[in-house]
Structure 1
Amino acid sequence: MVDAAAPLAVAILAYVTAQRLFELVVAARNTRRLLESGGYEVGAGHYPAIVALHAAWLAALWIFSPGRPVDLLLLALFVLVQLLRFWTLASIGRRWTTRIIVLPGERLVATGPYRFLPHPNYVVVVCEIFLLPAVFGLWAIAILFSLLNAAVLMIRIPAETSALQRTRG
């Protein structure tokens, strides 16, 4: 545990917030390009729930984390998860988006972590949603948002899997 509390917590949260905002810009650009190339969206009905979940998770962290001690071991695990995030995003490249966009005729990505996992980005998100609150000892937030995320992913993953299987024939 490190008790550099507020400055370290704010730095960690600022990083995650900036990362998410940057990813939203990239996702919007990629979504627009995929749609212009003949892609179509699947499962748009649950997308607002995903956005609300992630916004509430980040807001809860900003409200409750500053001033709390930081568990360096859990922070190190969070950093390792970030490496998987970067590998995943680099592997899927311009096809990555926060929505489910199907581009008919495209082959599924089978490089990077996609060789080992069908949905590596969801593994990353599951880990992040639990680990980051845990870094600050916010176990109730870690558990609550993990359960909410699991509920959303029970809708999201089958929708995405079904859509991708249909495009493969």
Structure 2
Amino acid sequence: MLFFVTVMAVVCLQRLCELMLAARNARYIRARGGVEIGASHYKYIVLLHVCFLVSLIVEVVATDSASPLPPWWGYSFGLFLAAQLLRYWCIRSLGKRWNTRILIVPGEAPLRRGPYRWLRHPNYVVVAIELFTLPLTFSAVNTAVVFTILNAWLLLRVRIPLEEKSVYER
């Protein structure tokens, strides 16, 4: 259980730091004339991630599935850690343009460096991997399945089409 508590504390701290970075970057982008696209759906993105963390904690505590760890935990946790490397590559590649919101500066072309040379939405790949592998590390299969499906629906039906239209089709 100590491993689970430690991982969850690090993940929650990571998310808080990312939100602070996103807020700072948002101020920078807005100061340059940037506008937000699809602000009305952002609360659902935040809600999904908060509910994911709560669900993971509740499922692990309720089923006491964090100890002992399942035999596959090393594979799922290794993939989770690899996703973190990709996350920070995304953040570094976008620099001050990285955000949790869709913020664009009219007239600026999308960046095509780092993982964005090969994928338009590598950070969404990271999130998909996280939402599946972190719960699996602790045998929280229900959380893994439910939030992977909800995330896929929200990204594919709402978020990515908005981003494609505002960033790539202008």
Give 1:3's aligned residue: none
Q: How many residues align?
A: 162
Q: Helix, strand or coil: the match of 2:103? A: strand
Q: Equivalent residues in 2 for 1:16-165 (5 A)?
A: 16-65=11-60, 67=64, 68=66, 69-70=68-69, 71-154=73-156, 155-165=158-168
Q: Deviations over 1:81-132 (max 9, x none)?
A: 1111111111111101111001112221111100110100000001101111
Cα RMSD after superposing both structures: 1.2
Q: Helix, strand or coil: the match of 2:36? A: strand
Identity of aligned residues (%): 44
Give the superposition deviation at 1:37. Answer: 1.0
Query: CA separation in 1, counterparts of 2:7 and 2:168?
Result: 38
| Structure 2, unaligned runs of 5 or more | none
Using the size of structure 1 for normalisation, the TM-score is 0.91
Q: Helix, strand or coil: the match of 2:146? A: helix
Check the 8 A contact 2:59/2:143 in 1, yes or no: no
Give the superposition deviation at 1:166. Answer: 4.2
Q: Deviations over 1:30-66 (max 9, x none)?
A: 1111112100010111111100000000111222335
Query: CA separation in 1, counterparts of 2:146 and 2:12?
Result: 20
Query: CA separation in 1, counterparts of 2:163 and 2:109?
Result: 15
Runs of 4+ in 1 over 6 A off after TM superposition: none
| Structure 1, unaligned runs of 5 or more | 1-5
